[in-house]
Structure 1
Amino acid sequence: MPPRRSHKKSRAGCRRCKSRKIKCDEVHPRCGNCVKHGVPCDFEHPEIIAELQAAQTASVSSPSTAAGTPYTPAYSPGAESVSNASTSRFQRAPPLCRSPPSQALSTTTPVAHRMLELRLMHHYTAMTCKTFTFTAPTTEHIWKITVPGMAFSGSQHLTDAILAVAALHLRSQSPNDKDLVRASHAYMAASLAEYSATLTKGIDSTNAESLFLTASLIAFQSTATRVFMKDELNLAQATGNYTEDFNKQGRYTAAGCYSIPFSWFHSFQGVKAVTAASWPWLRTSPVVTEVINSQVVLQLDLGLDRQTFFGHLLDDLSEELEEMANPSEPALLHPDSPGQPFQQRRVPASPELVTSTRQAYQHAVAVLNWAHKIPHKGAPLAFPATVSKRFIELLEERRPRALAILACFFALLKSLDSVWWLHGMARREVLGVVSLFNSDYFGPEAYSKWWPHLEWAMRIALYETPDGSSTIPPEVWGADWYAEEQALKDQSEHSYYRHIELLCQTGNSTRSIPEVP
């Protein structure tokens, strides 16, 4: 028998693969096993590290119920096992009397767990559901009555999503409650797993509504979680996981202090993808159409008019695109790890890429101009859902123009600072984005070059209203919200419903299944 080949053990795999004791292929931004099973990977989402650690710790204890029967976790790494567990769980007990959704809650006694779920559901119907409808109060009955009813009828991913956002809301009132911290992570992980498994099986008339509502709650949770997240770098260092892998993903700057919340864009883009893929059934749903039509109408001007409020963000765009097509100077790229020199690239971009880049910038700026006029109606929240995939790629590439646009988007959220899941968001995120310009990341001249495009965002982010409200005077903001709102109403003859209808008629997106964020 020939001798066995030597094997070098790697410690760079994702935590989920480590917990399952299987080999991780270490592919970024999501390893192959996590992609296969449709679950979040801590390579792509470092924020789930704490959840995975809690799950590993809980798995050491004896996972059994009070009756002595083996405990079957509702959330496991495999989508198929999740689906089977959920089915058997519904056969055993009603939704509010089931086993904990994650190993992170496996130490909770059955009585305590039932009380926790009752507490979460009560808080959702009494308080949390209202925070979805601050700009569209007419839909409150849908989120308060109709959505829980759909969840109880057999939609496990929707049930867990409801409990997850309720736990997150309660965390804002009791930030030191560890049970709520575990619950918010565990229920959302369970919801994501079941949601992924359902998408894999296919969208049809029986699940289209619940998938749309779950996708919306996932996007909400993804946004709200940012309020509670400490610096990811500190978490990685504390857990001993700050390695070159983090920098290969481009999550941390050379200064190592700010990471762009890509999960926002992925989750909101997921809502858009689910809507398009399930539109043949959603278009006749009174629940979904009421939610969609309650949103302020999206009216975009895609021209290059420098006179628009954010038109300056497109200054010198032609020169930048020309440089992409015919690079004359080396382009500075982010190093793979701290201490390494900046790499250089002279690869010309294809005409298709140049065109999509121009369109991505024009569309993103058009959304900013529209949202700037009526931010109090929740218009800024349309930005992460409506920007193009190419714009997200430009953010991932850390393009200065894309980051300047991002800073202006975050500044728009100042108008919604009174909403609990957006409070302080504008200040924190704008300062974070601007810090990228004021470091060695782009070179010494980047800050002075881009400051004129960042000045408004900084001024708004740091502005304090005298009465503590979210209303900012027109002379500071640059627009009269209520006058602009009336003007847009007078011009509007279409609805979001009609907008989506046209998009689905002009494309084949209804055949695609979205990737789980």
Structure 2
Amino acid sequence: MPPRRSHKKSRTGCRRCKSRKIKCDEVHPRCGNCVKHGVACDFEHPEALAELQAAAAESPSTPATTVNFGSPSSHAARPAPVTPGVSHAAAAAPLCRPPPAPTFSQTTPPSQRLLELRLMHHYTAMTCKTFTFTAPVTEDIWKITVPNLAFSGSQHLADAILAVAALHLRSMAPDDKELVRASHAYMAASLAEYSAALTKGIDHTNAESLFLTSALIAFQSTATRVFMKDEVMVDGENDIDTNTGRQRHHGSGVYAIPFSWFHSFQGVKAITAASWQYLRASSVVTRVINSQAVLQLDFTAGPETFFGHLLEGLDEELAAMGGNDDTSAAASTNPLGGAAAPVPSAECQQRKPAAAEVINATRQAYQHAVAVLNWAHKIPHKGAPLAFPATVSRRFIELLEERRPRALAILACFFALLKSMDSIWWLQGMARREVLGVVSLFNSDFFGPDAYRTWWPHLEWAMRIALYEHPGLETGEPIPPEVWGADWYAEERVLAEGQERHGGYVRHIELLSQMASNTVQSTPSVPEFVPVTGTQS
């Protein structure tokens, strides 16, 4: 074994090296070790010795090597020590010049931190205002309260804020790939955290943030549609041609119904219902809810209502749904409401009369959807059309999934109502593209050659509004009453009087909550997130 090398113990090294039990090179004015680690050296700053002694006195059992003098948090957590011979100014002064850089997580690159700052700034400066165009009184909630709730520990709310801000910026710079990735990544993260929170359960600590996150998810789901191609393929879907009974495949260019709209807005309704016992005590949520126009639905059916024509022939359609189960071709029903179409005998043998519950649910679904359209048509500038995807019944969504012509005609009229909000970035151009998409299903072989002729009288208004253009739309001016079919502001006064008599939207939810008090609420589902790639911009 070789002999040990001689070692000359340093007795004049700096105190920091001594406390760390390492050799000091005794270089002045700062030793090499202190320079290497970016910390104060008592050769250059004698007051550093006082801080070392004070730290050791406060926690004598803690090794001196654990004290991080380069971390801003260590100074914030402990006041500067005051020792004899050292002034307050000297004790509070930086211990080295220039001050050391803050310690950030090595997993978060500087570019991402800058992006998040950019997104949050854009949200508070611009994006939040686009949620309050119908209720400016809630701007301070979306601008100040919502970010503060996110900062208090709600990760899903924070990610939802960043996702929507990224999407808003993307609408201004559609070719910015960084914003494309950010909008996808933050929304996917928000949905994951949101889903995890729902799985754990809703209580008074998270009901508020879950409600607000669900609202932002609905905004994001709506705005994402702006970046999709005008024609979308219905992937791998086959159905039965109602005229020939043959299977057919939908190829490229077939319009896809935006079911994500309904799922996300229905999610807001489900969250509200499931957590109302907590939300009713939240001044934030009740202000947001009361800022919405109260549903005042008239279920009168017939030509006296603006969209009453959409219910024409409903009785015959419902009667045919449950009228027969024989094997004759004449007993089958064309979903267009026209002549009966031949159906293979095997299918006839499997057909059963529709249950009375299904028929009643179908009738109520159509009547309720048309009543919402009639109400929203009177005050569209108040954001009333957006109540449609949130309030229609599950049965109506099923009818859309079945691609029932009546349900699609109602859908076209809903999208036409969005023309009144064409100046809003996340709704801009929505009426035109969606109405044309729905009508294309009638004007193709999707339903057969008679569909367009049969349903055109019910689609004419939607097409006329969707294609209507005038410069005032960009600034939010109302469409002339003779074109729209109603005077927005005259109708608004009538509805406002009714709202004063019946209370605000919170009162409306209270009544619904009482009606459903004996019903067990299920956990709200999380809408499926389908990222929109940059190539679809």
Pairwise TM-score range, normalised by the shorter structure: 0.7 to 0.9
Distance 2:211 2:106 in 1: 25
**After the TM superposition, which residues 64-213 of structure 1 pair with which residues of structure 2 at under 5 Å, given as runs?**
110-213=109-212
Cα offset, 1:110, TM superposition: 0.7
Residue type of the alignment partner of 2:521:
R
The SS at the match of 1:321 is helix
Cα offset, 1:348, TM superposition: 2.0
Which residue of structure 2 lines up, in the alignment, with residue 502 of structure 1? 511
Cα offset, 1:487, TM superposition: 1.1
Distance 1:329 1:184 in 2: 51
**After the TM superposition, which residues 229-240 of structure 1 pair with which residues of structure 2 at under 5 Å, given as runs?**
229-230=228-229, 233=232
Distance 1:405 1:279 in 2: 30
Distance 1:144 1:351 in 2: 49
Distance 2:158 2:302 in 1: 47
Cα offset, 1:302, TM superposition: 1.4
**After the TM superposition, which residues 1-16 of structure 1 pair with which residues of structure 2 at under 5 Å, given as runs?**
none
The SS at the match of 1:511 is coil
Q: Structure 2 vs 1, CA of residues 139 and 323 (structure 1 numbering), >3 Å: closer, same or farther?
A: same
Which residue of structure 2 lines up, in the alignment, with residue 316 of structure 1? 313
Question: Is 1:293 equivalent to 2:278 in the alignment?
Answer: no
Which residue of structure 1 lines up, in the alignment, with residue 498 of structure 2? 491
Contact 1:414 1:461 in 2 (8 A): yes
Contact 2:321 2:333 in 1 (8 A): no
Distance 1:307 1:409 in 2: 19
The SS at the match of 2:390 is helix
Q: Structure 2 vs 1, CA of residues 252 and 131 (structure 1 numbering), >3 Å: closer, same or farther?
A: farther
Which residue of structure 2 lines up, in the alignment, with residue 362 of structure 1? 367
CA shift digits 1:432-484 (9 cap, x unpaired): 00000011111111111100000000000000114444421000000000100
Contact 1:255 1:439 in 2 (8 A): no
Residue type of the alignment partner of 2:158:
T
Residue type of the alignment partner of 1:357:
T
Which residue of structure 1 lines up, in the alignment, with residue 522 of structure 2? 512
Q: Structure 2 vs 1, CA of residues 436 and 468 (structure 1 numbering), >3 Å: closer, same or farther?
A: same
Residue type of the alignment partner of 2:147:
P
Q: Structure 2 vs 1, CA of residues 115 and 286 (structure 1 numbering), >3 Å: closer, same or farther?
A: same
Which residue of structure 1 lines up, in the alignment, with residue 302 of structure 2? 305
Cα offset, 1:208, TM superposition: 0.3
Distance 2:472 2:199 in 1: 50
Q: 1:390 aligns with which of 388, 391, 395?
A: 395
Q: Structure 2 vs 1, CA of residues 369 and 468 (structure 1 numbering), >3 Å: closer, same or farther?
A: closer
The SS at the match of 1:497 is helix
State which drifts further: 498-507 or 419-428: 498-507
Q: Structure 2 vs 1, CA of residues 509 and 144 (structure 1 numbering), >3 Å: closer, same or farther?
A: farther
Question: Is 1:418 equivalent to 2:418 in the alignment?
Answer: no
CA shift digits 1:363-407 (9 cap, x unpaired): 000000000000011100000000000000000000000000000
TM-score normalised by structure 1 residue count: 0.74
Larger Rg: 2
* Runs of 5+ consecutive residues of structure 2 not aligned to the other structure: 1-103, 241-246, 325-329, 337-342, 528-537
Residue type of the alignment partner of 1:516:
V
Q: 1:258 aligns with which of 252, 255, 260?
A: 255
Q: Structure 2 vs 1, CA of residues 466 and 210 (structure 1 numbering), >3 Å: closer, same or farther?
A: closer
Distance 1:509 1:111 in 2: 51
Cα offset, 1:490, TM superposition: 1.6
Distance 1:438 1:254 in 2: 16
Which residue of structure 2 lines up, in the alignment, with residue 43 of structure 1? none
Q: Structure 2 vs 1, CA of residues 155 and 476 (structure 1 numbering), >3 Å: closer, same or farther?
A: same
Cα offset, 1:303, TM superposition: 2.3
Distance 1:352 1:188 in 2: 38
State which drifts further: 193-202 or 320-329: 320-329
Q: Structure 2 vs 1, CA of residues 219 and 252 (structure 1 numbering), >3 Å: closer, same or farther?
A: farther
**After the TM superposition, which residues 341-352 of structure 1 pair with which residues of structure 2 at under 5 Å, given as runs?**
346-352=351-357
Which residue of structure 2 lines up, in the alignment, with residue 329 of structure 1? 331
TM-score normalised by structure 2 residue count: 0.71
Which residue of structure 2 lines up, in the alignment, with residue 77 of structure 1? none
Cα offset, 1:326, TM superposition: 1.2
Which residue of structure 2 lines up, in the alignment, with residue 472 of structure 1? 479
Distance 1:445 1:455 in 2: 16
Distance 1:321 1:258 in 2: 27
The SS at the match of 1:154 is coil
Contact 1:276 1:510 in 2 (8 A): no
Question: Is 1:460 equivalent to 2:462 in the alignment?
Answer: no
Distance 1:276 1:473 in 2: 38
Distance 2:151 2:231 in 1: 36
Q: Structure 2 vs 1, CA of residues 254 and 362 (structure 1 numbering), >3 Å: closer, same or farther?
A: farther
CA shift digits 1:236-284 (9 cap, x unpaired): 9xxxxx5x3x447999856742100000000000000000000000001
CA shift digits 1:22-46 (9 cap, x unpaired): xxxxxxxxxxxxxxxxxxxxxxxxx
Distance 2:495 2:359 in 1: 33
Distance 2:106 2:279 in 1: 32
Cα offset, 1:509, TM superposition: 5.2
Q: Structure 2 vs 1, CA of residues 139 and 197 (structure 1 numbering), >3 Å: closer, same or farther?
A: same
Contact 1:231 1:257 in 2 (8 A): no
In angstroms, what is the RMSD of aligned CA positions? Answer: 2.4
Residue type of the alignment partner of 1:504:
S
Distance 1:146 1:304 in 2: 43
Distance 1:216 1:228 in 2: 20
Contact 2:274 2:521 in 1 (8 A): yes
Residue type of the alignment partner of 1:330:
S
Distance 2:332 2:301 in 1: 28
Residue type of the alignment partner of 1:366:
A
The SS at the match of 2:331 is coil
Contact 2:380 2:420 in 1 (8 A): yes
**Deviant stretches of 4+, over 3 Å:** 97-100, 231-234, 246-256, 331-334, 341-347, 466-470, 508-511
Question: Is 1:375 equivalent to 2:375 in the alignment?
Answer: no
Distance 1:251 1:282 in 2: 48
Contact 1:251 1:260 in 2 (8 A): no
Question: Matched residues, percent identical?
Answer: 73
Question: Is 1:433 equivalent to 2:438 in the alignment?
Answer: yes
Residue type of the alignment partner of 1:274:
I
**After the TM superposition, which residues 39-58 of structure 1 pair with which residues of structure 2 at under 5 Å, given as runs?**
none
Contact 2:157 2:209 in 1 (8 A): yes
Distance 2:106 2:285 in 1: 31
Cα offset, 1:495, TM superposition: 1.2
Contact 1:171 1:181 in 2 (8 A): yes
Which residue of structure 2 lines up, in the alignment, with residue 92 of structure 1? none
Which residue of structure 1 lines up, in the alignment, with residue 70 of structure 2? none
State which drifts further: 358-367 or 248-257: 248-257
Distance 1:158 1:509 in 2: 29
Cα offset, 1:332, TM superposition: 5.8
Distance 1:252 1:384 in 2: 28
Which residue of structure 2 lines up, in the alignment, with residue 78 of structure 1? none
Q: Structure 2 vs 1, CA of residues 252 and 313 (structure 1 numbering), >3 Å: closer, same or farther?
A: farther
Q: Structure 2 vs 1, CA of residues 514 and 474 (structure 1 numbering), >3 Å: closer, same or farther?
A: same
Which residue of structure 2 lines up, in the alignment, with residue 33 of structure 1? none
Cα offset, 1:491, TM superposition: 2.0
